[in-house]
């Protein structure tokens, strides 16, 4: 059975930066969860950050820029939290390798998991095209990454490869 890596917050784990619980309500995700197909990871918590924690954003680029040392992840008070984000991305990649995962569903807009959009690093609610640190590392490693808004694409790929 194929496994899919999923952001812990999308699977209902209490790992969001604000400590809020978002229950798993999507029917397709619930079905995959019942079948044992979902492998959860919260890169931020796995990287050593607590729940709740201060909001963080990428300043000066996207997740790839962070991995290559050209940008940083900072929290709302200006503290550099780049290292936990990189460690968390590496943890997510280790899970992908352990379970031979080929696809991930990650939380859009997150500095770790954003797939198509992230915040601009100025904490003014402005979204920009870009992707998070974990998304960058997984994509660089050949993993197909989708947001929670692209479940139909994941379902189609699962159907084609089964």
Residue 119 scores a pLDDT above 80? yes
Q: Calculate mean pLDDT across residues 42-58.
A: 98
Q: What is the mean pLDDT of residues 108-120?
A: 98
Domain ranges of the chain: 4-161
The whole-angstrom separation of Cα 31 and Cα 8 is: 16
159 pLDDT band, cuts 50/70/90, is confident
- Provide the CA 149 distance to its chain's centre, in angstroms: 13
Euclidean distance between CA atoms 103 and 105, whole angstroms: 7
Average pLDDT over residues 9-19: 95
Measure the CA dihedral 92/21/50/100, to 10°: -10
* Residue 111 burial (CB count, 10 A): 31
Place 62 in a pLDDT band, splitting at 50, 70 and 90: very high
Average of per-residue pLDDT values in the chain:
96
Q: CB–CB of 112/41 below 8 Å?
A: no
- The percent of residues in the chain predicted with pLDDT above 90, rounded, is 92
Q: Does residue 162 carry a pLDDT above 60?
A: no
Name the packing angle between helices 27-34 and 151-161 (round to 10°).
Answer: 40
81 to 45, 88, 96, 151: CA distances (angstroms): 12, 11, 23, 30
| Whether the predicted pLDDT of 20 surpasses 60 | yes
In degrees and rounded to multiples of 5, residue 66 shows phi and psi of: -65, -50
């Amino acid at each position: 059975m194929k496994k899919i890596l999923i952001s812990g917050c999308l699977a209902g784990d209490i790992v969001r930066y604000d400590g809020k619980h978002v229950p798993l309500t999507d029917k397709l995700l619930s079905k995959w969860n019942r079948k044992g197909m979902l492998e959860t990871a919260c890169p931020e918590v796995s990287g050593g950050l607590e729940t709740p924690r201060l909001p963080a954003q990428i300043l000066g680029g996207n997740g790839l820029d962070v991995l290559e040392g050209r940008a940083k992840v900072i929290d709302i008070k200006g503290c550099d939290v780049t290292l936990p984000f990189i460690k968390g991305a590496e943890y997510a990649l280790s899970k992908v390798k352990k379970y031979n995962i080929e696809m991930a569903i990650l939380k859009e807009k997150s500095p770790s998991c954003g797939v198509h959009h992230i915040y601009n690093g100025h904490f003014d609610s402005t979204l920009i095209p870009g992707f998070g640190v974990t998304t960058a590392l997984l994509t660089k490693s050949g993993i197909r990454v989708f947001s929670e808004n692209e479940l139909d694409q994941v379902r189609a790929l699962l159907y084609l490869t089964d």
